[in-house]
């Protein structure tokens, strides 16, 4: 199965500053249709995961444009341009190319 | 809009069978989507359980395959999960999800299942 390695484990952030989370896959997530099947989720405290990014870099409906996803081979990055207090929670990456789909271990984002 | 709602017993006895249903609204379950289950033990990360297509084709996580059965009811617009021989390790929040190849996935709110005598 594809292994997803996410870093850092914990990320203290200052509101208004930028932040980034990395995720590395053990195999390419590039489908023959040209899309990378990598998703980013945010799980706020006490809530179900909400999708932020799918197909590697497409923002889900309603997601603020301060969130962006990028790809470089098997390295994926989620960037928050200006962190807000409501962005706290645990972020997960997930590969959806090959079953069993697999998740990164999570990055806990908290306000300094 | 697409909505998914999980339902089922909150408490299951060890060695028993965990059964959950996901009722789908806003889209036909017979459309070109994969319907899946994901779980999250308390305080832990996410684990993909398996998926089913409207035709009945399934893909299961090998770690659960021997105990897992998924089914789909096109007439009721719902799909189900059945996990046998449960232990405390199966205690988790269970989420149902919808996905296809090109649009944003949808998740339910989740339902907590506790395995305990």
pLDDT for residue B9: 97
Residues B80-111 have pLDDT tens digits of 999 999 999 999 999 999 999 899 999 999 99
d(CA B113, CA A24) in angstroms, rounded, equals 32
B107·A49 Cβ contact <8 A: yes
pLDDT at A100 over 90: yes
Residue A103: CB atoms within 10 Å: 21
Radius of gyration over every alpha carbon of chain A, rounded to an integer in angstroms: 13
Say what percent of chain A tops pLDDT 70. 100
Residues B31-69 have pLDDT tens digits of 889 999 999 999 999 999 999 998 999 999 999 999 999
Contact B94/B39 with Cβ under 8 angstroms?
yes
Residues of A with CB below 8 A from B101's CB? Answer: 31, 33, 35
Closest to B104 (Cβ–Cβ): which among A31, A51, A94? A51
B48·A54 Cβ contact <8 A: no
Residues of B with CB below 8 A from A89's CB? Answer: none
Residues of B with CB below 8 A from A106's CB? Answer: 45-46
A2 touches chain B (CB under 8 A): no
A55 touches chain B (CB under 8 A): yes
């Amino acid at each position: 199965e594809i292994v997803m390695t996410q870093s850092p484990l914990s990320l203290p952030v200052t509101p208004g500053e930028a932040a980034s989370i990395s995720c590395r896959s053990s195999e390419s997530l590039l489908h023959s249709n040209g899309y990378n099947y990598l998703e980013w989720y945010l799980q706020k405290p006490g809530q179900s995961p909400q999708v932020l990014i799918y197909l590697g870099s497409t923002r889900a409906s309603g997601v603020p444009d301060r969130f962006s996803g990028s790809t470089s081979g098997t390295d994926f990055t989620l960037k928050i341009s200006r962190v807000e207090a409501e962005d706290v929670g645990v972020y997960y990456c997930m590969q959806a190319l090959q079953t069993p789909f697999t998740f990164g271990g999570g990055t806990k984002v908290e306000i300094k | 809009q697409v909505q998914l709602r999980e339902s089922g017993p909150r408490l299951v006895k060890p060695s028993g069978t965990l059964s959950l249903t996901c009722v789908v609204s806003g889209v036909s379950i017979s459309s070109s989507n994969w319907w899946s289950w994901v779980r999250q033990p308390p305080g832990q990360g996410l684990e993909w359980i398996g998926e089913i297509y409207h035709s009945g084709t399934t893909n299961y996580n090998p770690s659960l395959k021997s105990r897992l059965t998924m089914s789909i009811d096109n007439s009721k617009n719902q799909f189900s999960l059945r996990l046998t021989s449960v232990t405390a390790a199966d205690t988790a929040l269970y989420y149902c999800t919808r996905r296809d190849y090109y649009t944003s996935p949808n998740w339910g709110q989740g339902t907590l299942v506790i395995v305990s005598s």
